Structures are given as C-alpha cells and as structure tokens.
Amino acid sequence: MGTFDYLMHGFETALTWYNILFAFVGVLIGTAVGVLPGIGPMSGVALLIPVTASITGGLPPEQAATSAIILLAGVYYGAMYGGSTTSILLNTPGESSSVVTTLDGYQMAKKGRAGSALSISAIGSFVGGIVTLIAMIALAQPLSTIAIKFGPAEYFSLMLLGLAAVSGLAGKSVTKALIMTVCGLLIGTIGIDNVSGIARFTFDIPWLYQGVEFLTIAVGLFALGEVLKTILEKEEDDGEIAKIKNLIPSKEEFKESAGPIARGSLLGFFVGILPGAGATLASFFSYLMEKRISKKPWKFGTGAIAGVAGPETANNAASGGAMIPLLTLGIPGSGTTAILMGALMMYNVQPGPLLFEDHPQVAWGLIASMFIGNLMLLILNLPLVKVFAKIIETPKKYLIPIIIAISIFGVYAVQVSTYDLLLLLGCGVLGYFLSKNDYPIAPLVLGLVLGPMIENNMRRALTISDGDYSLFFTRPLSLTFLIITALWLLIPVLLKKRGKDVVINIEG
C-alpha cells in the first residue's frame, strides 16, 4: 500500500462520526485554552488526558488511542489559533507563542482593524497547518524507513540529543533546565525495573511498584501549578476588549499578507521539526524576518498586517512540524509533544518508526483528522471569533476552582488512588515554586517520558557489546548524534560568555 492508500484509510478513520466529534471537541477546547490567559497548551493537554481516557474507556484499545490522540492533538493546534485572539483584542497573549502577535495585532485593533487581523491570523494558521501536514505525509514514510535501521546505540544517542535540545533552549538557565531533565529521568527509574525485575527506590511501598505515574506528574506540575500561580498572583484586569467590526480583510490586506503567510509556513515547519525549538521561536523568527525584508520596516509595531500574518502562520506550522519527530522517531521536540507522547504510551501505543507499521490506524487517523480539525478551526474562527472573544470574560473565580476539580476528577478516574491525588497536590505546589524560580517544567516531563526508553536502549546496546561503552562512539551515526548533542549544549553557553543574547524558548 502506498502513502495515498494509507491516507485514505486515515480519512476513513477520521471521518467516523465519533472521531469527527472528538476532533471538534478537541479544537473547540483548544481554542478556549488558547483564549484563556493562564492555561497554556501544555496544561490544557495534560488536564484533558485523564478526561479523554475515561471518555474513550468503552472503545476497543486501538480505537480508543486513535480517538484520544485526535482530541488531544486538536487541543494542541486549536490553542495555537486561539492564542492570537487575546493578543489582538486585549494585548495579552493567551500562550507564549502569540507574544509577538501583540506587537502589531493590538495596534491594528486599536485602529479599528481587529476584524481583519483576526481573520488573517485564522487564514494564516490554516495555511500553516495544511502545509506542514502535507510535508508530514511526504516525510513520514522515508523518515520511518531510516529510523527503523537504527540499533539501540543509535536510539540512545538520538534520545540524548532530543533531551539536550529541549533542555538546552528552555528557560533562562541551562543548568536549571538540565537539572530538571535529570530529575525527570530519575523519577522515571522509580518502580520495578523491567529488565531485571527488581524494585528500585520503592521503599517497599506497593503503590510505587508500577512507577510514578506520568499523568499525575504532568497534570500536577502544569495544570495545578499554573492555577496556584494565578491564585497567588492575582492580576488586576486591565485593558478593554477591542470591538470587532469588519471581519473581511480588504484586497490590499490580502495582498500584503500573502507573502508573510507563505514564508511563515516554511519557516515554521523547519523550526518545528528541530527538537527544542518550539512555536514561540518560530513566531519570533518570522516576525524578525518580515521586518527585515519589508520595504516599510518602520510600519512594524504600529499595526502592520505582515507582523500578524507571518508569526501566526509560523506558530501553527511549527506545532505541526513538532509532530513529525514525535510520530516518526518517537522523540518529542517540545513540552506539549512530550505530553502527547505520554498520552500515547498510556494507551500502549509507542510513537516511533514502528508506529506507522504497527498502528497505521492511529498514525494516519491522526494525520487525516488534523486536516479536518484545521478546516473546522478556520470555519469556527471566522464567524465565531466574537463568541470566542466572550470566553475572555469568564470570571476567574469560577474557572480556577473548576480546573482544580477537573484535575482531581481526572487523576482519580484513571488511577483510583488517594496517593496519586496527594502526589498531584504536591506536584502542584512544587510546579508553582519551580516555574516561579525559572526552573522549566517541560524538560522534567520529557525526561520522565523518555527515561525508561533511554535506559532500555542503553542497556540493550551495552548487553550487545558486553559492557563496552566505546560502542556509542564507534558507530558513526551514534557518534554524530552525540557530537550534535554536545554542540547543542555548549554553543549557547559559549555564546552567552561572549555576551550575545541567546534566544530562549519559553514554551519548551
């Protein structure tokens, strides 16, 4: 079967009534997550994993995994659309990748052009999403064929590279990011070792035998941590919501944004594939690029439509691009994809080169549903943007306790254990303190997800070589990955020493 047949089967899966519903609910919640300041895509996805797990409980395992991941991915790219709404209308970005959109978007809104800014960003997001999907379809098969030839040594080195890439760019201090990564890896070692079968660091507590649950940690650190932060640091509501007048951009505005959208799609896609460089970086780069090549650079910051179209396209393209290494190599390139990977693994679906062979329904169903979801978002966002803008007015007093209640319900529904709830609360408090003091959380979750796989591959490789560590350096591909890993970690440090500003990825 060729790629086309697989894709058609994917559409068959994605077009069943309940998967359409899942995609719809996903993008709808995603848009809300993007619009609501305070919950980002990471906490939104983490919060919904247990909820989807309980909804899909009645389906056969393969279908449950497909439907769940369709919904969760919908939340992920839906948030990228929604994030622009608050940036433009309120000057407050809903999530970090929409920060640059505030620069020109809010200025446009002030001048009464909020409608065109919103519709151009929706159109740009759509184009960006579709371009990366096509690229993903083209790349999926060849990449998996290469990756399938990897031995354990190559995998070990590649995963180290993935870890280093995400932690090397996340947060303000590389040391802190690395500490968080190592902590995640260490938490991953708790439980029964599945090679030798002995209990590690469990202190004879039966609850710890199956290891610390990824779900509990992710929901606690992200969702609960952010909620606690909002309670403690109560912000005064500021600014007025700009009025939306005319939704259809003028011909001139279309002309001005066509170029930025095309460039943003490509740029976002390539930045997205790079592990560690997330949507935030992509939108930032796109803005800089548009400003540099513009004939009227002085217009930027005063309401140039190119400054909205480019970054908004790029951040959506990047979030699609980040799915490629996740699905084909099994290496999440960002915090949100790490959480998606954890969700897949909860369903016993291992992302990676074998995914397309072992679970074609999951992989192609997801890809096809992303086409449908992007279309839904475009349709939803153009006429309904006024409705979504209303979500901003949701009073925090109701929102915050309900988020806590949902996270407790979700974790309990899946784990059925009070210990997990206590751990959840602990992680929430910890998450608040860590992120307040610039300890990035995404690397920790990534370490937790990748840890067991890294260890298994390392031990398999060492068993083959009979304990000879030089194996990792003598195999050329493995050595290449290790060299890139070292450079990735060292170059930012060296640049900083020279006093250069290092671009930092907030999303992680």
Partner 1 sequence: MDVKFDRFASVAFLAVGVLFMIGSRKLASSSYGSSVGPDIFPFVLGLVLAVLSIRLFYEAFRGKVQESGKEKLQYKPFFIILLSTLIYILTLETIGYVITTFLFLFVCFQTMERNKWVTSLIISAGFSGIIYYLFVNVLKGTLPGWPIWFS
Using the rule CB under 8 A, which residue among 262, 375, 429, 504 binds partner 1?
429
**476 near partner 1, rule: CB under 8 A:** no
Using the rule CB under 8 A, which residue among 134, 405, 491, 495 binds partner 1?
405
In the complex with partner 1, the residue whose CB is nearer, 289 or 392, is 392
Question: What does the alpha-carbon distance between residue 451 and residue 434 come to, in Å, rounded to a whole number?
Answer: 21
**59 near partner 1, rule: CB under 8 A:** no
**404 near partner 1, rule: CB under 8 A:** yes
Using the rule CB under 8 A, which residue among 149, 234, 251, 498 binds partner 1?
234
**433 near partner 1, rule: CB under 8 A:** yes
Encoded tokens for 320: 């699609």
Helix (H, G, I), strand (E, B) or coil at 170: strand
**205 near partner 1, rule: CB under 8 A:** no
Q: Are 223 and 47 in contact (CB under 8 A)?
A: yes
Using the rule CB under 8 A, which residue among 186, 477, 487, 504 binds partner 1?
186
CB of 153 to partner 1, least distance (A): 13
CB of 457 to partner 1, least distance (A): 11
**502 near partner 1, rule: CB under 8 A:** no
Using the rule CB under 8 A, which residue among 9, 15, 151, 193 binds partner 1?
193
Question: What does the alpha-carbon distance between residue 111 and residue 224 come to, in Å, rounded to a whole number?
Answer: 38
CB of 82 to partner 1, least distance (A): 23
**Distance set, CA 196 to CA 23, 193, 400, 456 (Å):** 41, 6, 44, 11
Span interacting with partner 1, options 144-152, 231-239, 248-256, 357-365, rule CB under 8 A: 231-239
CB of 460 to partner 1, least distance (A): 9
Q: Is the dihedral of CA 431, 437, 441, 444 positive or negative?
A: negative
**Distance set, CA 57 to CA 45, 50, 236 (Å):** 18, 10, 41
Question: What does the alpha-carbon distance between residue 227 and residue 214 come to, in Å, rounded to a whole number?
Answer: 19
How does DSSP assign 86-130, residue by residue?
A: HHHHHS--SSGGGTTHHHHHHHHHHTT-HHHHHHHHHHHHHHHHH
Question: What does the alpha-carbon distance between residue 320 and residue 77 come to, in Å, rounded to a whole number?
Answer: 8
**489 near partner 1, rule: CB under 8 A:** no
Q: Are 219 and 410 in contact (CB under 8 A)?
A: yes
CA dihedral 471, 474, 480, 483 (to 10 degrees): 80
User: Which residue, chain included where needed, has tokens 């400003």?
Assistant: 291
The neighbour count for residue 310, using CB atoms within 10 Å, is 36
Question: What does the alpha-carbon distance between residue 280 and residue 118 come to, in Å, rounded to a whole number?
Answer: 19
**208 near partner 1, rule: CB under 8 A:** no
HEC states along 203-250?
CCCHHHCCCCCHHHHHHHHHHHHHHHHHHHCCCCCCCCCCCCCCCCCC
**439 near partner 1, rule: CB under 8 A:** yes
Using the rule CB under 8 A, which residue among 4, 17, 298, 398 binds partner 1?
398
**111 near partner 1, rule: CB under 8 A:** no
Question: What does the alpha-carbon distance between residue 501 and residue 20 come to, in Å, rounded to a whole number?
Answer: 45
Span interacting with partner 1, options 126-134, 211-219, 334-342, 425-433, rule CB under 8 A: 425-433
Span interacting with partner 1, options 118-126, 184-192, 242-250, 484-492, rule CB under 8 A: 184-192
CB of 377 to partner 1, least distance (A): 26
Question: What does the alpha-carbon distance between residue 318 and residue 264 come to, in Å, rounded to a whole number?
Answer: 9
The neighbour count for residue 291, using CB atoms within 10 Å, is 20
Of 272, 274, 266, 301, residue with least CA distance to 287: 301
**449 near partner 1, rule: CB under 8 A:** no
In the complex with partner 1, the residue whose CB is nearer, 98 or 457, is 457
Span interacting with partner 1, options 99-107, 132-140, 393-401, 497-505, rule CB under 8 A: 393-401
Span interacting with partner 1, options 196-204, 273-281, 321-329, 376-384, rule CB under 8 A: 196-204
Q: Print the binding letters for residues 287-326 with partner 1: x by CB under 8 A, - otherwise.
A: ----------------------------------------
Helix (H, G, I), strand (E, B) or coil at 276: coil
List residues binding partner 1 (CB under 8 A): 54-55, 57-58, 172-173, 175-176, 178-179, 182-183, 185-186, 189, 193, 195-196, 198, 200-201, 228, 231-234, 395-398, 400-402, 404-405, 408-409, 412-413, 416, 418, 421-422, 424-425, 429, 433, 437-439, 454-455, 458-459, 462-463, 466-467
